[in-house]
Structure 1
Amino acid sequence: MTDALGWRKKFGVLAPSTNTIVEPDFHAMAVRGVTSHISRIHIRDQDLSSDEKMVRILEQIDDEILLAVDRVMTAGIDYLIMAMSAETFWEGLKGNRAFVKRLEDYTGLKVAVGGSACQAALEAFKVNKIAVITPYQAVADERLCGFFSDIGVEVVRLKGLRCPTAIAIAEVSENDLRNHLQELDGDDVDAIVQMGTNLSMLRLADEAERWLGKPVIAINAAIWWYALRHNDIQDRVYGCGRLLREF
């Protein structure tokens, strides 16, 4: 017997309890026969106003993540997605692989994470000089640059928005993001990458690729694309960027 709606795959999605963007983004990119099922990781203190408090958020994630995994596993999911990017690049490429292994060993399922998805997306576009926009504090931006360095990608420019709380990430306006993309662009970068799954850039990235003439990779699109392709689902999704439309 197969699930009436998720007859191809049922994706379990781990997201911070403060995140209001990734769930509707994944629904917007849905393909027939694939369903996504959110399990929220409890964030008790969402303050992101300093490097120390950014680290504290990640400690909360680490403390709570397996509880969220246990809950979503009761739905009989086939595959797991970690819908928070910072946790997956914090210790560089080695840390990304260790994070994936931890979840795979615990669940017996394959796992999609932001770090692996970004690496695969940049390889698909064959680019190695990028600009990056993040909602993070400086400590996370430094860790992110280390991850990209590990995979042979140069971060030419980075814009960290220093969002004061986890919820504030979702409140960054499209107009502000558009301006930041224009500031980041230049002949010395081959692509722009957006990190932070609670930062709403899915539709804007698709639009920006047309007026910038280069890939603009929204993290939620990259994670969803990676999850689909990792499960041999080749459906094209339109309106969410070149990655889902062409690769």
Structure 2
Amino acid sequence: MTNVVGPRAVFGVIVPSTNTVVEHDYWTAAVPGISYRVGSMYIPRPAMDNDQDFEALLVQIRSSLDTAVRDVLTAGPDRMVMGMSAETFWGGVEGNASFERRLRKATGLPVTTGADSCRAALRELGCERIAVFSPYQPVADREVGRFFTEAGFRVSSVTGLRCPTATDIAKVGSDRIREMVMSLDGPEVEALVQVGTNLSFVAQAGELEAELGKPVIAINTATLWHALRSHGFGDQVEGAGALLREH
């Protein structure tokens, strides 16, 4: 349902309550006529400093997802966008498809997820050989790698920053991220992909892309691009890399 501040579309966006980056990235893109109604999944225990804690974090996400979706639906959005990524990669390609089916059935709306957005972006850019980094623990990185492999990409590595809490993801600085990207890059890598929506990377991804001469995809860029293009909007956005600027 469009409105005065979103005359073209209102996107419902679901984020963990610990996330402070997704809204910033979407509003910074300043796409005319698009507004966002954000719903939060309550995360009372944000620890994720080992595999067990990370899986416990996902339990919290799953238990609060329906409430967050319920709240967003009261604003009458035109599309649901998942501003959280780990759960959308879980279970590989079929896990993501099942997650999307559940959300479409619950909302009656088209759905954008992080996993599907990254897959669509890589296909649009014509990249097959990729390297991926995340703020996650190994248990989650394995699921990310599984999704991309099942989706037909050749994954040279998936490396996590091993952030100790969900809120610490947003504290990772540009120097550490740059170091990670440079360690993953190589002549065999056609594109670098970042997952984990609370990691601030959109602007830096564009800068590194220009420096490296190859696609560097931030997941928040990918989800916004997917939501816009799937909804029929071709707006070109500067400052976030070639995906939103040229595709």
TM-score interval for Structure 1 and Structure 2 normalised by the shorter chain: over 0.9
Partner of residue 169, structure 2? 169
1-side partners of 2:157 and 2:3: how far apart?
Answer: 45
1:183, CA displacement in angstroms?
A: 1.1
Contact 2:2–2:10 (CA<8 Å) still a contact in 1? no
Unpaired runs of 5+ residues, structure 1, are none
Q: How does 1:1-247 map to 2 (within 5 A)?
A: 2-247=2-247
1-side partners of 2:16 and 2:73: how far apart?
Answer: 17
1:179, CA displacement in angstroms?
A: 1.3
Identity %: 46
CA RMSD of aligned residues (A): 0.9
1:2, CA displacement in angstroms?
A: 4.5
Letter in 2 for 1:125: L
1:5, CA displacement in angstroms?
A: 1.3
Aligned residues: 247
**Structure 1 runs of 4+ off > 4 angstroms?**
none
Q: What do the CA deviations read for 1:167-223 (whole angstroms, capped 9, x no partner)?
A: 010111001111111111100100000000001100000000111010000000000
* TM-score of the pair, normalised by structure 1: 0.98
1-side partners of 2:116 and 2:2: how far apart?
Answer: 29
Secondary structure in 1 matching 2:157: strand
2-side partners of 1:239 and 1:49: how far apart?
Answer: 32
* TM-score of the pair, normalised by structure 2: 0.98
Letter in 2 for 1:65: L
Unpaired runs of 5+ residues, structure 2, are none
1-side partners of 2:173 and 2:3: how far apart?
Answer: 38
Q: What do the CA deviations read for 1:30-53 (whole angstroms, capped 9, x no partner)?
A: 311110111111001100011011
1-side partners of 2:17 and 2:58: how far apart?
Answer: 13
Contact 2:127–2:191 (CA<8 Å) still a contact in 1? yes
